Chains A and B, each alone.
Chain A
């Protein structure tokens, strides 16, 4: 067996694993200084990100792995691309949480270790080929998040958020595990390709399989907070420390969408795949997405707390993504898939940029109502500009990345014969302008009060990260090379299967 080959294929996972062990040990034995731990965590994640980027670049559509590993894990261009997005988001989230936990500095090590564990779980989720491994890595992703949400133990809102998230998350895990057991019972395996083979060999569809699929889908929908499984999200995002919300709203969601994409395009939507179950998947996804868009956007309208606005906007954004899943009947399948992948990345970056502004501001203020952003353009122009571009991108303002993503999604949906969903999507974009621009109005229209604090001074890493978030909105929107690359990755999946 070629161990070096194997190591190369799993560079990101190994790098994260080594970093997490190193951070824990260093926290125990070497130095408890938060910035030292932060630096180690950052370097490890940055290395992992670069590894994933390298893998995206060199990997063949599907890597050859030894049999016992290849049975449970898969490495392909799609997984490498998704891992790159997740790692990039995690790295940025770590950068933005620098100095966020000075008052609890005894626990800085745990904070970074938990984020790293969660990221590791996410990476394994994306690669998993077997439902059992998927469930384990799903838990590895989720459990640290519960703790992170309640990280400010003495703050009642934070503790409440942690508990709420835990109870709801446990429910979703239970649903998913229950669903997996049904699938196993009816198909005789948890290995996805075997399930597909058994399914194709079978005459008629066992009812248990259908039930299992729906239960797993609800578990995933819980995690990405799609209406009607969204009720936990606003409270959790509001209660959790903003630095945690920054992570929570980006990387785990992208992970889950990534797994859904793989499940969907590799096992459901293939000739003879489980797509011809007696369920109208298109209808199901259309209902989920339309419901999510309307619930998210309409609930965000009356909010005055910026965190709540962002939380509801996240729900609405998931609705747009699910539009892309509903577009599976597209004659050009790779374009629907590429649209979903592209929008996932765009959503992750723009959303992270917007939350990061709050995470940094949280170092000097506790309140996050609209008034607290007053005069931000004077107090800190970079933060204000990042907020403006990220929110406008989420709202779908051309020529920013969010518009390009939405346009690409809408185009795929229209092509798959669902123009009414495009109408709903455009209508929702117009509704969403109202609250996104309400936030910008607070940040830009009024001058700062006399003697208002300038806000925290940003370390160099954070300044660079803000610039990255800021310009990514423009570059991803205007540089067509990215879309061409995503299309290439997408076509490896749709042709390979």
Chain B
């Protein structure tokens, strides 16, 4: 009997949450150790999963591997079934990296640690489960397990944005986040029910559902339901308003999780449900939605340019970067090599943005906890006192604006390359959206460099003469994220090769 590695990855954090729930609340050190051990074990196992699958099983990644199934409610066709394929493999790795870094950063949490770690670990289980589940019913359960704790985590441990501009209160942000995510989840649930009855297979098993042929009308309805639900999660303008508020109000580790993996659940959902299940409808609709992607890039960038609060700025940069994802999947109807590049870039962007934005949030949050200010202008010249923060912030900013050598470059390059070739109007080749999106890169560069300049260079703010540099656990978090951004930026094929196995299925070129 082989070990159920995948289930171990998913359930270890929950097991730790259960143990923590019965630990006395004053044993903080034990609680932290348990959480880190479980999160670390899951992260290492997801790394192991990635390595094993990449080197020994790569050719088979077009289909689900390491499938584990357990009968649950047979009369309804529900079972517990998990597995990974080329699409979810890198997402599992991403979850491992970001959750590990977030748990390191969580050592700074200074109140109600017991509840914090229970909720945080449950959310991590939820995220792993979303990426790994093959059964759609369990997909919904994991989805909610990932999003409901966020309400409490943001509302209790978050921080308010007061200062210049419109204030953002954490309780309001938490409620908004809850309602938006649940609305998205509800629409997805409706789509799943519709799918369940449309195929007539009376099962929630994705492997079987993928085999069935949906009529064009069914595909359109299903596509719209899934797209609406997941676009809320992925922050498509104009459904994005929960994102800047929620991400900026969350405590640091949660900002990392929200931007690093929660947002990716939406992107992953679109790839998995819209593209893989309803390829014909995707080809009809997604090029049109690429316009929204361009709007995302420009609007998010312009909003970020106006922010003086560093966390709000990073949150808007997420809006901008998710625009690249939407632009990438908009290529799916294009001519042959370009559509692959577009999707590959979109998928790469999920990983790249996850790692890099998590790093940005980690540094920003760590500086906030030392200076008690989120206002960039109040930071002023911190590089003199805190070279570690400055180094990692600049590294992340460079990755975010697309410096070659880091992951961000490859994602944007592939998306723009794909969209240049594949967006046509009638017979004319018209890369209008690409041309419109490119200034977005310039805007990104502007606001990131501005933040580096205001925050870390220039005269030192006299209030911050005694600011401490990073603690060792913060450095652990930074190194985890920065090294993966660098490593996969240098060897991007590690991420693209597995994804290439599944992309024909996403494009509907080859029936799975």
Contacts and interface: CB of A to CB of B under 8 A. Distances in A.
Contacts of B151: 437
A398 B141 contact: yes
Given A414-B197, A444-B152, A484-B73, A423 B190 contact: yes
Contacts of A483: 73, 75
Contact of A445 (B156, B183, B194): B156
A445 B155 contact: yes
Interface in B1-45: none
B365 to A, nearest CB: 20
Contacts, number: 71
B355 interface: no
A441 to B, nearest CB: 6
Nearest to B193: A414
Q: For chain B, which range describes its interface: under 10, 10 to 19, 20 to 34, or 35 or more residues?
A: 20 to 34
Interface stretch (B174-182, B378-386, B418-426, B489-497): B174-182
A386 B445 CA distance: 50
A110 B75 CA distance: 47
B391 interface: no
Interface string A396-414: 0111000100011011001
A14 interface: no
Contacts of B174: 441
A438 B178 CA distance: 11
Contacts of A423: 190
Interface stretch (A17-25, A75-83, A246-254, A426-434): A426-434
A392 interface: yes
B182 A433 contact: yes
Given A433-B179, A444-B156, A410 B141 contact: no
Which of A377, A398, A437 lies at the interface centre, i.e. has the most chain B CB atoms within 10 A of its CB?
A398
Contacts of A433: 178-179, 182
A422 interface: yes
A480 B155 contact: no
B183 A430 contact: yes
Nearest to B158: A445
Contacts of B187: 426
Contacts of B73: 480, 483-484
Interface residues of A, number: 31
Given A398-B145, A419-B194, A433-B179, A427 B186 contact: yes
Contacts of A438: 175
B145 A445 contact: no
Contacts of B137: 407
A430 B76 contact: no
Contacts of B487: none
B175 A434 contact: yes
B189 A426 contact: yes
A411 B76 contact: yes
A487 interface: yes
A419 B191 CA distance: 11
A438 B152 CA distance: 11
A186 B75 CA distance: 42
B190 A411 contact: no
B144 interface: yes
Given A398-B141, A480-B73, A487-B75, 15 more contacts: A377-B115, A397-B144, A398-B144, A403-B144, A407-B137, A407-B189, A408-B76, A411-B76, A429-B186, A437-B178, A438-B175, A440-B152, A441-B174, A445-B156, A480-B78
Rank and list the top 4 A-B pairs by shortest CB-CB distance, nearest first. Answer: A480-B73, A426-B186, A398-B144, A398-B141
16 contacts: A377-B115, A399-B144, A407-B189, A414-B197, A419-B194, A427-B186, A429-B182, A433-B178, A433-B182, A437-B151, A437-B175, A441-B155, A441-B175, A444-B155, A445-B155, A487-B75
